[in-house]
């Protein structure tokens, strides 16, 4: 494929990334603001011989993902806030069974039914496992439509590399905005990707059992130790962006669509002579603690900006611990953010 | 001395592991496991079967039936089975679920799986209680039946009525086969064997969803001896849950 430029919504970029990333089975349940993803895949994935199925609930769709993943396929589901809550039981089982899967959360405002306006309120849920038991999902937070595409492709590779659920954490702004993307990856499917561990029927080998029940003496301990090591290994795939950080006096830390809006704010403030930089974590789990700490060691002041009441700021504080503090500015869930919203709080850092 | 020649007329199914059972004495789960294993052998499905286990007393099914297996969260086996079958249409996919699992927490998953006409086979074990968690009320607990959470007996005013799953599933368009059977005597065991085969055929012939409900004894939580429990299946359970075939479009 020669790389093609397309003008698409963030949600469509995720869906196209899934196609080019080799998704074979996608299980849906409608919820705003992510419904463009199932709508796109219901049209396009079936043309390529993949499976598209709208399930009866998010609970069913995540368990269909579990089944397809156990069968060794690249499987995916997407939802938003309330639907992601329902998927948590299944995500915990997928993590406990060490299966690969991609889950997209295009966050909306909450708690409860909340609304369809933008929010980053599911940061804790995404980065702390979200369901029961001691597990983590790898979390990727795109900030542009291109990143929606790129990171969805990468999410599948990471899910199979670690045999762990990977979450794309976007939001209503990102899902709905239109931007050009370059489609650079050609869809290819390796039928033997999971051949060493997946279920095929036991022809020619011994029975395989994929489960998360660990009753035998010492086996739960062993699994948790293995998972802990796995989460440590994931640190080799930590991603982040530093934007004009080098000579900055004040560094704003923000992720996802807010990260990108804060970059515009930084540009505006630079033109007024303020030395502002932006540190944007792209993997939210594992969080770029060390990378942020390195920046802090250079003697900067920090402000964390989120579209929630203060979640990632806790990770920022952990990263900076013992070196300096961070201010926090909250744009409330439900409020659409503009670059102007962040001028005053950042300017105040220079007073 | 007369010479006696011996001929083996009865043996373990090939795909059933010869391991000590964890089921209580008089529990019917073991007999049902055996019948499932026999049907797998009969259609030579051992190499292409994928079993979806559930949460309940049958959670260790993969230790007994020697086929590839995946464990589903409580009640979700029909959704997991859907995922497996859609991913591997050539595999033979079956799930095994208890009545708490299938008819309470997993009611939505089973109805929609059947209604979509998924080409999977479900073995449903109705013992009228939650066995594994200690004998609490199930959606199939009979009116008046005492359990650890209906100490005065199930009352329709408070808990409603026992669900008749074989009838409910049989009423759905996507279902190709639905039957209710029992294993309390030889005659019924023979009928049960036939029903499992029919449910398997529904999948093998690509006709649709196959469902077999077993009336099953739980002596431990019924507080009966194995013999008394076996008898209760006939006297009390069959009176409310009639045996029979509720849907069959396999042939
Ligand atoms: C989400 C969830 N809720 C509750 C439980 C606890 N639990 C384990 S087995 C079970 C019921 C089993 O009863 P049934 O399905 O009738 O099977 P049986 O043990 O009688 O064979 C329950 C409620 C669980 N494992 N997961
Ligand atoms: S508790 Fe009941 S269902 Fe469970 S193994 Fe014992 S007899 Fe069987």
Share of chain B above pLDDT 90, in %: 95
**Whether A244 and A231 share a structural domain:** no
Best of B59, B101, B127 for a ligand 2 pocket test (most atoms within 8 Å of beta carbon): B127
- Could you give the CA distance from residue B205 to residue B217 in angstroms, rounded to a whole number? 32
**Whether A196 and A79 share a structural domain:** yes
Q: Which of A236, A258, A280 is the last residue of a domain?
A: A236
Q: What does the pLDDT average to over A265-290?
A: 98
Cα A298 to averaged position of ligand 2 atoms, centre (Å): 65
Partner residues linked to A280 by β-bridges: A241
Q: What does the pLDDT average to over B10-31?
A: 96
| Structure confidence at residue A12 as a pLDDT band (50, 70, 90) | very high
Predicted confidence at residue B190, as pLDDT, reads 98
The residue with tokens 């969080």 is A287
What range does the domain containing B72 cover?
29-248
Average pLDDT over chain A reads 97
**Whether A245 and A340 share a structural domain:** yes
Using an 8 Å Cβ cutoff, are A106 and A11 in contact? yes
Is B23 domain-assigned?
A: no
- Could you give the CA distance from residue A142 to residue B63 in angstroms, rounded to a whole number? 44
**Whether A135 and A281 share a structural domain:** no
Q: What is the number of the ligand closest to the CA of B27?
A: 2
Helix axis angle, A58-70 relative to A81-96, nearest 10°?
30
Total structural domains in chain A?
2
**Whether A268 and A231 share a structural domain:** no
Give the Å distances, CA to CA, from A63 to A26, A77, A98, B79. Answer: 11, 10, 14, 6
For residues B195-232, b (16+ Cβ closer than 10 Å) or e, as one string? bbbbbbbbbbeebbbbbbbbbbbbbbbbebeeeebbeb
Partner residues linked to B126 by β-bridges: B215
For residue B10, give how far its alpha carbon lies from the nearest alpha carbon of chain A (Å).
25
Is B116 domain-assigned?
A: yes
**Whether A286 and A140 share a structural domain:** no
Predicted confidence at residue A1, as pLDDT, reads 53
Cα B194 to averaged position of ligand 2 atoms, centre (Å): 24
Predicted confidence at residue A229, as pLDDT, reads 98
Give the Å distances, CA to CA, from B245 to A300, B166, B178, B238. Answer: 76, 8, 6, 14
**Whether A198 and A145 share a structural domain:** yes
Domain of residue A301, CATH code: 3.40.50.920
Q: Which atom of ligand 2 is nearest to the CA of B135?
A: 1
Q: Which of A217, A236, A255 is the last residue of a domain?
A: A236
**Whether A271 and A211 share a structural domain:** no
**Closest CA to ligand 2's atom 7:** B218
Please give the full DSSP string across B147-176, using - where no structure is assigned.
BTTBTT-B-HHHH-----HHHHHHTSTTEE
Whether B208 is in the pocket of ligand 2, judged by its Cβ within 6 Å, is no
Q: Which tens digit of pLDDT belongs to each residue from A203-220?
A: 999 999 999 999 999 999
Which of A24, A54, A67 to probe by mutation at the B interface, max B CB count within 10 Å? A67
Whether B199 is in the pocket of ligand 1, judged by its Cβ within 6 Å, is no
- Could you give the CA distance from residue B169 to residue B247 in angstroms, rounded to a whole number? 9
Query: Which burial class, exposed, middle or buried, applies to A13 when counting CB atoms under 10 A from its CB (0-12, 13-18, 19+)?
Result: buried
Total structural domains in chain B?
1
Q: Which tens digit of pLDDT belongs to each residue from B197-207?
A: 999 999 999 99
Whether B98 is in the pocket of ligand 1, judged by its Cβ within 6 Å, is yes
Residues of A in contact with B91 (CB under 8 A): 71, 199-201
Which of B140, B79, B85 has its CA nearest to residue B108?
Answer: B79
Whether B24 is in the pocket of ligand 2, judged by its Cβ within 6 Å, is yes
- Residues near A74 by Cβ (< 8 Å), separated by ≥ 6? A21, A22, A23, A24, A25, A100, A102, A156, A159, A160, A189, A193
Q: Which tens digit of pLDDT belongs to each residue from A37-57?
A: 999 999 999 999 999 999 999
Is B119 domain-assigned?
A: yes
Q: What does the pLDDT average to over A107-130?
A: 95
**Whether A179 and A98 share a structural domain:** yes
B22 at interface of A, judged by CB pairs closer than 8 A? no
- Could you give the CA distance from residue B49 to residue B90 in angstroms, rounded to a whole number? 9
Predicted confidence at residue B1, as pLDDT, reads 61
pLDDT of A34 over the 90 cut = yes
Whether B96 is in the pocket of ligand 1, judged by its Cβ within 6 Å, is no
Q: What does the pLDDT average to over A78-85?
A: 98
**Whether A58 and A144 share a structural domain:** yes
**What's the distance, CA A92 to chain centroid?**
16
Cα B29 to averaged position of ligand 2 atoms, centre (Å): 8
Q: Which of A189, A216, A236 is the last residue of a domain?
A: A236
Judging by DSSP bridges, how do beta strands A276-281 and A240-243 pair with one another? antiparallel
Domain of residue A107, CATH code: 3.40.50.970
Contact criterion met (CB < 8 Å) for A70 and B70: yes
pTM exceeding the 0.95 threshold for the entire prediction:
yes
Is B117 domain-assigned?
A: yes
For residue A171, give how far its alpha carbon lies from the nearest alpha carbon of chain B (Å).
27
Domain of residue B142, CATH code: 3.40.50.970
Is B3 domain-assigned?
A: no
Cα B142 to averaged position of ligand 2 atoms, centre (Å): 17
- Assembly ipTM: 0.96
pLDDT of B38 over the 80 cut = yes
pLDDT of A188 over the 70 cut = yes
Partner residues linked to B215 by β-bridges: B126, B182
Whether B132 is in the pocket of ligand 1, judged by its Cβ within 6 Å, is yes
- Could you give the CA distance from residue A1 to residue B153 in angstroms, rounded to a whole number? 69
Is B74 domain-assigned?
A: yes
Is B48 domain-assigned?
A: yes
What range does the domain containing A309 cover?
240-350
Cα B22 to averaged position of ligand 1 atoms, centre (Å): 16
Whether B27 is in the pocket of ligand 2, judged by its Cβ within 6 Å, is yes
Predicted confidence at residue B109, as pLDDT, reads 98
- Could you give the CA distance from residue A154 to residue A159 in angstroms, rounded to a whole number? 8
Predicted confidence at residue B5, as pLDDT, reads 85
**Whether A199 and A220 share a structural domain:** yes
Residues of B in contact with A211 (CB under 8 A): 53, 62, 69-71
| Structure confidence at residue B10 as a pLDDT band (50, 70, 90) | confident
Strand ranges of the sheet holding A250-253, from the earlier edge strand across to the other edge: A240-243, A276-281, A250-253, A301-306, A326-330
Predicted confidence at residue B85, as pLDDT, reads 98
Element counts in chain B: helices (H) and strands (E): 11, 9
Residue of A nearest to B77 (CA): A63
Q: Which tens digit of pLDDT belongs to each residue from A139-164?
A: 999 999 999 999 999 999 999 999 99
Among the partner-chain residues B48, B59, B71, the one whose CB lies closest to the CB of A203 is: B48
Using an 8 Å Cβ cutoff, are A244 and A278 in contact? yes
B76 at interface of A, judged by CB pairs closer than 8 A? yes
**Whether A122 and A92 share a structural domain:** yes
């Amino acid at each position: 494929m020669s790389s093609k430029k397309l003008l698409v919504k963030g949600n469509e970029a995720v869906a196209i990334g899934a196609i080019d990333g080799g998704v074979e089975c996608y299980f849906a349940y409608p919820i705003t603001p992510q419904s463009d993803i199932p709508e796109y895949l219901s049209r396009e994935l079936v043309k390529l011989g993949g499976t598209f199925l709208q399930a009866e609930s998010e609970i069913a769709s995540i368990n269909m993902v579990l089944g397809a993943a156990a069968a060794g396929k690249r499987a995916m589901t997407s939802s938003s806030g309330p639907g992601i809550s329902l998927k948590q039981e299944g995500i915990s089982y997928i993590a406990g069974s060490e299966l690969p899967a991609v889950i997209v959360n295009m966050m909306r405002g909450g708690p409860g039914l909340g609304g369809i306006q933008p929010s980053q309120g599911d940061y804790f849920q995404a980065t702390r496992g979200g369901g029961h038991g001691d597990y983590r999902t790898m979390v990727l937070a795109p900030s542009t439509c291109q990143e929606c595409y790129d990171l969805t492709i990468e999410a599948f590779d990471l899910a199979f590399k670690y045999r762990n659920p990977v979450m794309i954490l976007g939001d209503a702004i990102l899902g709905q905005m239109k931007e050009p993307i370059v489609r650079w990856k050609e869809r290819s499917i390796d039928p033997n990707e999971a051949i060493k561990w997946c279920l095929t029927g036991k022809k020619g080998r011994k029975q395989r059992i994929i489960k998360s029940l660990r009753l035998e003496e010492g086996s739960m301990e062993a699994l948790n130790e293995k998972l802990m090591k796995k989460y440590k290994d994931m640190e080799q795939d930590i991603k982040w962006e530093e934007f004009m950080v080098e000579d900055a006096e004040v560094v704003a830390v923000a992720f996802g669509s807010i990260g990108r809006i804060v970059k515009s704010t930084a540009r505006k403030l630079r033109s007024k002579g303020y030395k502002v930089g932006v540190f944007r974590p792209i993997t939210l789990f594992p969080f770029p603690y060390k990378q942020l700490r390195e920046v802090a060691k250079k003697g900067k002041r920090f402000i964390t900006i989120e579209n929630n009441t203060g979640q990632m700021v806790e990770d920022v504080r952990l990263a900076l611990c013992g070196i300096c503090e961070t201010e926090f500015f909250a744009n409330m869930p439900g409020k659409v953010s503009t670059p102007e919203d962040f001028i005053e709080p950042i300017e105040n850092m220079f007073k | 001395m007369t010479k006696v020649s011996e001929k083996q007329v009865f043996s373990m199914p090939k795909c059933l592991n010869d391991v000590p059972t964890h089921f209580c004495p008089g529990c019917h789960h073991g007999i049902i496991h055996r019948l499932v294993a026999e049907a797998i052998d009969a259609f030579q499905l051992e190499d292409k079967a994928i079993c979806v286990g559930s949460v309940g007393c049958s959670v260790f099914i993969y230790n007994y039936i020697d086929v590839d297996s995946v464990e589903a969260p409580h009640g979700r086996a029909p959704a997991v089975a859907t995922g497996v079958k859609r991913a591997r249409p050539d595999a033979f996919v079956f799930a095994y679920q208890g009545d708490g699992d299938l008819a309470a927490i997993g009611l939505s998953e089973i109805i929609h799986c059947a209604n979509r006409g998924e080409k999977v086979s479900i073995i449903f074990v109705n013992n009228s209680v939650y066995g594994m968690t200690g004998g609490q009320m199930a959606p199939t607990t009979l009116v008046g039946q005492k359990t650890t959470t209906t100490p005065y007996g199930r009352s329709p005013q408070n808990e409603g009525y026992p669900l008749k799953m074989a009838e409910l599933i049989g009423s759905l368009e996507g279902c190709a086969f639905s039957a209710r059977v029992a294993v309390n005597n030889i005659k019924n065991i023979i009928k049960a064997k036939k029903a499992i085969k029919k449910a398997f055929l529904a999948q093998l012939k690509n006709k649709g969803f196959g469902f077999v409900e077993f009336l099953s004894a739980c002596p431990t939580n019924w507080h009966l001896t194995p013999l008394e429990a076996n008898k209760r299946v006939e006297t009390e359970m069959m009176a409310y849950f009639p045996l029979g075939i509720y849907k069959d479009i396999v042939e």
